[in-house]
């Protein structure tokens, strides 16, 4: 008989009583060892023991926001994976991308998806975009112990704000630090090892009022520039047909660009750089 279950096979009361709208709070009471930040770790640094996800860029545009990520994961000086996916929908109107320890980041991202779905089921309403960012911040804060041992995860969160007064400016971007501090960004942002180069590229090219279509190309160009100077960031791989993951969040919801759409943009960027390598 499983621990906590009575002979009748009924679920324990904690599963049937009215509880919190936060799934992570519920999990911390029922099975805290299931949370990424609650697992015991051996002493010492562990940064080189797991693959790391790298560069993510976000760009706000008229009517929404674009989030894109390269496909490379590294472990020390080795390429651990060439086609990892670091950008995913958080819910119907928001997106999340991760940089840092890949395994913990993917787990944290999936837990965040469940957190938002659980809240909606319990409360019968969707969290505001600020509320989602704050929930994600608290989950990052719970991983602080592992982060101090080199297993840090830093996400980039973006979404369409359904409560925005001006739908044209409803695309919003939030960055975080390893302690869980949330910061709203203006226009664009990037995280990961190639973020310095990606943001430098966007600083020159980004203009307020850019369209979603133009923002998707800007995102791919920024990732190309990051890969050009950062060995941990993977550029478009035309040989293997591995391209960045590009997603949008608009009033119609979240959408991932198809492989064909991303290939067309990436191949156009590469062709342009053949004529002008500096962009």
- Catalytic: which of 20, 24, 54, 239? 54
Q: What is the pLDDT of residues 59-108, one digit of tens each?
A: 999 999 999 999 999 988 889 999 999 999 999 999 999 999 988 899 99
CB 250 within 8 A of CB 212: yes
Architecture field, domain 46-275: 4-Layer Sandwich (3.60)
CB 247 within 8 A of CB 255: yes
The residues spanned by each domain of the chain are: 46-275
Active site residue 262: no
Question: If you average pLDDT over each of 17-31, 47-61, 183-197, which comes out highest?
Answer: 183-197
Mean pLDDT, rounded, of the chain: 89
| pLDDT > 50? residue 149 | yes
Q: What is the pTM of this model?
A: 0.87
**Tokens 């869980």 sit on residue:** 180
| pLDDT > 70? residue 6 | no
Average pLDDT on 229-251 reads 96
Task: Please provide the size of the chain in residues.
Answer: 279
Average pLDDT on 165-178 reads 92
Q: What percent of the chain has pLDDT over 70?
A: 88
Does residue 26 or residue 110 have the better pLDDT? Answer: 110
C-beta contacts of 270-279 below 8 A and 24+ residues apart = 270/224, 270/236, 270/238, 273/224, 279/201, 279/205, 279/221, 279/224, 279/225
Sign of the dihedral defined by the CA atoms of residues 108, 110, 111, 115, in that order: positive
What pLDDT sits at residue 37? 65
Q: What is the pLDDT of residues 30-69, one digit of tens each?
A: 777 777 766 666 666 665 666 788 899 999 999 999 999 9
């Amino acid at each position: 008989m499983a621990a906590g279950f009575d002979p009748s096979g009924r679920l324990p009361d904690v599963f049937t009583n009215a509880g919190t709208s936060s799934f992570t709070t519920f999990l911390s009471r029922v099975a805290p060892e299931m949370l990424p930040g609650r697992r015991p770790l051996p002493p010492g640094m562990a940064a080189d023991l797991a693959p790391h996800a790298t560069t993510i860029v976000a760009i706000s545009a008229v009517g929404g926001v674009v989030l894109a990520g390269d496909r490379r994961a590294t472990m020390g000086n080795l390429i651990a994976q060439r086609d990892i996916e670091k950008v995913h929908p958080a819910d119907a109107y928001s997106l999340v991308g991760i940089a840092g320890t890949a395994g913990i980041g993917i787990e944290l991202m999936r837990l965040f998806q469940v957190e938002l779905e659980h809240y909606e089921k319990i409360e019968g309403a969707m969290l505001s975009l600020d509320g989602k960012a704050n929930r994600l911040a608290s989950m990052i804060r719970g991983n602080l112990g592992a982060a101090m041992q080199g297993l840090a995860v830093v996400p980039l969160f973006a979404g369409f704000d359904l409560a925005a007064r001006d739908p044209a400016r409803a695309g919003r971007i939030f960055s975080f630090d390893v302690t869980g501090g949330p910061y709203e960004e203006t226009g664009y942002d990037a995280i990961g090892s190639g973020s310095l180069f990606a943001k430098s590229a966007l600083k020159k090219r980004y203009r307020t009022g850019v369209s979603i279509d133009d923002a998707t190309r800007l995102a791919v160009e920024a990732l190309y520039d990051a890969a050009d100077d950062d060995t941990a960031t993977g550029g478009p791989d035309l040989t293997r047909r591995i391209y960045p993951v590009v997603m949008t969040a608009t009033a119609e919801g979240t959408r991932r660009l198809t492989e064909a759409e991303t290939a067309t943009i990436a191949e156009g960027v590469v062709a342009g750089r053949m004529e002008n390598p500096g962009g």
